[in-house]
């Protein structure tokens, strides 16, 4: 099969013949129709992000495709089924704290690296091997719609945070860092979950205005000034009432003060989910006041990615029309134009843009 190969950090990506994956028990093989190109992919491939990757590797976190072969333990999945290939692969020998690898992207710790040696190759190839439970049926679709279903990968990350924060219908949520790809997706997900109002914060006034235009009066944009106290007061004032929960999604380059302003804008007994990149490139942490958290009964939840059951839940939300996909601009590239695809993804890093490899 044809596949994109990263042989060394900083080396050009190669498109080569690669051995077909061999299925074992508890595994499926999927014919890939489309796979996402992350906006920061070039930073991963250069080594700038310091991601744990066992090289050489086929990149590509997440894909949509059709099942080619299933193992003897699959009772419902059938060849020909359309599936979302969930890249969050969890070890099966520790239910409470499983080791995790993000297929085609990174690993978390030594256990994740062990998983990566078997399931490391991602979706930038004609075929993909993954655990049976990671092939999630999306129902019947026409082949031309497969790229649109890759938006699942953008929606699932913020859904994991909003789910952890316990967002309920009718509440007001603050999405901190809403002008990035995942932040813009968070606005759509929050509305789909029934939020009465989303206060969307960021540094790009044009993108904030676009969020208001696309999603309507339930979204209120707010541009950061860099003054922590003033920004916190502005967040509170921008909301129609108390802010019930906060989803924090700033990039690694953001100041901790940006996140702290958002966290401390939540109401008494409010909830916060932290999913951003603060501290990933070094620097200080949030330095939140202990007494303020305790006296106000604020719940703070760290959330990396999403639980397994989030995938079929999000599929059901899309099927029900609770979240629309029509506002996304989708650019597709064949494997032999991978360098162009990576550059396109970096240049179109905001909301409503999706870059895909289509083998």
Tokens of 54: 């066992």
Tell me which residue range forms the domain holding 222: 155-302
CB 90 within 8 A of CB 149: no
Query: How many angstroms separate the CA atoms of 86 and 196, rounded?
Result: 30
Q: In this structure, are 161 and 132 located in the same domain?
A: no
Q: In this structure, are 119 and 215 located in the same domain?
A: no
* The model's pTM: 0.95
Residue 161 inside a domain? The answer is yes
Handedness of CA 214, 219, 220, 226 (dihedral sign): negative
Spatial CA neighbour of 253 closest among 182, 352, 177, 159: 177
The helix/strand/coil state of 102 is strand
Tokens of 217: 């009066």
pLDDT tens string 127-148: 999 999 999 999 999 999 999 9
pLDDT tens string 51-108: 999 999 999 999 999 999 999 999 999 999 999 999 999 999 999 999 999 999 999 8
- Burial pattern 336-349, b for ≥16 Cβ within 10 A else e, equals eebeebbebbbebe
> In the chain, which ranges are continuous DSSP H helix?
41-46, 109-119, 146-149, 152-164, 181-192, 205-215, 228-238, 256-263, 290-296, 310-319, 338-347
Query: How many angstroms separate the CA atoms of 199 and 298, rounded?
Result: 19
- pLDDT in 10s for each residue of the chain, 359 residues: 999 999 999 999 999 999 999 999 999 999 999 999 999 999 999 998 889 999 999 999 999 999 999 999 999 999 999 999 999 999 999 999 999 999 999 998 899 999 999 999 999 999 999 999 999 999 999 999 999 999 999 999 999 999 999 999 999 999 999 999 999 999 999 999 999 999 999 999 999 999 999 999 999 999 999 999 999 999 999 999 999 999 999 988 888 999 999 999 999 999 999 999 888 777 678 899 999 999 999 999 999 999 999 999 999 999 999 998 888 999 999 999 999 999 999 999 889 899 999 99
Q: In this structure, are 297 and 163 located in the same domain?
A: yes
Residue 277: C-alpha distances to residues 15, 243, 248, 258, 350 (Å): 31, 22, 9, 12, 16
Q: In this structure, are 89 and 165 located in the same domain?
A: no
Give the E-state strand segments of the chain in sequence order.
2-5, 14-17, 27-36, 63-70, 82-85, 88-90, 100-102, 106-108, 127-131, 135-137, 172-176, 197-202, 219-223, 245-248, 271-274, 299-302, 329-333, 353-357
Q: In this structure, are 176 and 241 located in the same domain?
A: yes
Residue 208 inside a domain? The answer is yes
Angle at CA 328, nearest 5°, toward 325 and 332? 115
Last residue of a domain, one of 257, 285, 302: 302
CATH of the domain at 83: 3.90.180.10
Q: In this structure, are 132 and 6 located in the same domain?
A: yes
Q: In this structure, are 227 and 109 located in the same domain?
A: no
The helix/strand/coil state of 198 is strand
Total structural domains within the chain: 2
Residue 315 inside a domain? The answer is no
CATH of the domain at 177: 3.40.50.720
Q: In this structure, are 56 and 28 located in the same domain?
A: yes
Q: In this structure, are 92 and 129 located in the same domain?
A: yes
Q: In this structure, are 187 and 256 located in the same domain?
A: yes
Q: In this structure, are 259 and 276 located in the same domain?
A: yes
Query: How many angstroms separate the CA atoms of 137 and 234, rounded?
Result: 43
The 10 Å Cβ neighbour count of residue 25 is: 9
* Maximum Cα–Cα distance across the chain: 61
Residue 320 inside a domain? The answer is no
Q: In this structure, are 127 and 61 located in the same domain?
A: yes
Residue 165 inside a domain? The answer is yes
CB 274 within 8 A of CB 303: yes
């Amino acid at each position: 099969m044809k596949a994109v190969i990263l042989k060394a950090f900083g080396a050009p990506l190669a498109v080569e013949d690669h051995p077909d994956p061999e299925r074992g028990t508890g595994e499926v093989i999927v014919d890939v129709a489309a796979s996402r190109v992350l906006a920061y992919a070039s930073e991963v491939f250069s080594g700038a992000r310091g991601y744990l990757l066992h090289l050489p590797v086929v990149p590509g976190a997440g894909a949509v495709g059709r099942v080619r072969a299933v193992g003897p333990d699959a009772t419902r999945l059938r060849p020909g089924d359309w599936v979302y290939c969930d890249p969050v692969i969890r070890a099966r020998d520790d239910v409470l704290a499983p080791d995790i690898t993000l297929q085609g992207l990174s690993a978390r710790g030594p256990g994740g690296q062990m998983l990566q040696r078997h399931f490391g190759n991602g979706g930038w190839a004609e075929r993909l091997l993954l655990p049976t439970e990671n092939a999630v049926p999306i129902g019947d679709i026409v082949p031309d719609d497969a790229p649109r279903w890759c938006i699942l990968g953008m929606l699932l990350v913020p859904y994991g945070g909003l789910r952890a924060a316990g967002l309920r219908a009718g509440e007001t949520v603050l999405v901190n860092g809403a002008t990035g790809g995942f932040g813009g997706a968070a606005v759509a997900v929050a509305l789909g979950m029934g939020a009465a109002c989303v206060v969307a914060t960021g540094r790009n006034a044009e993108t904030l205005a676009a969020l208001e235009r696309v999603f309507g009066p339930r979204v209120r944009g707010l541009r950061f000034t860099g003054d922590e106290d003033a920004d916190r007061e502005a967040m509170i004032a921008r909301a129609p009432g108390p802010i019930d929960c906060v989803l924090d999604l700033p990039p690694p380059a953001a100041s901790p003060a940006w996140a702290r302003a958002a966290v401390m804008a939540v109401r008494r007994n409010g909830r916060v989910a932290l999913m951003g990149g603060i501290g990933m490139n070094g620097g200080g942490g949030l330095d939140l006041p202990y007494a303020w958290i305790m006296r106000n009964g604020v719940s703070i939840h760290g959330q990396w990615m999403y639980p397994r059951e989030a995938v079929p839940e999000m599929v059901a939300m899309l099927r029900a029309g609770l979240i629309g996909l029509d506002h996304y601009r989708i650019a597709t590239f064949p494997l032999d134009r991978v360098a162009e695809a990576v550059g396109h993804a970096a240049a179109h890093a905001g909301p409503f843009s999706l870059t895909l490899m289509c083998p």
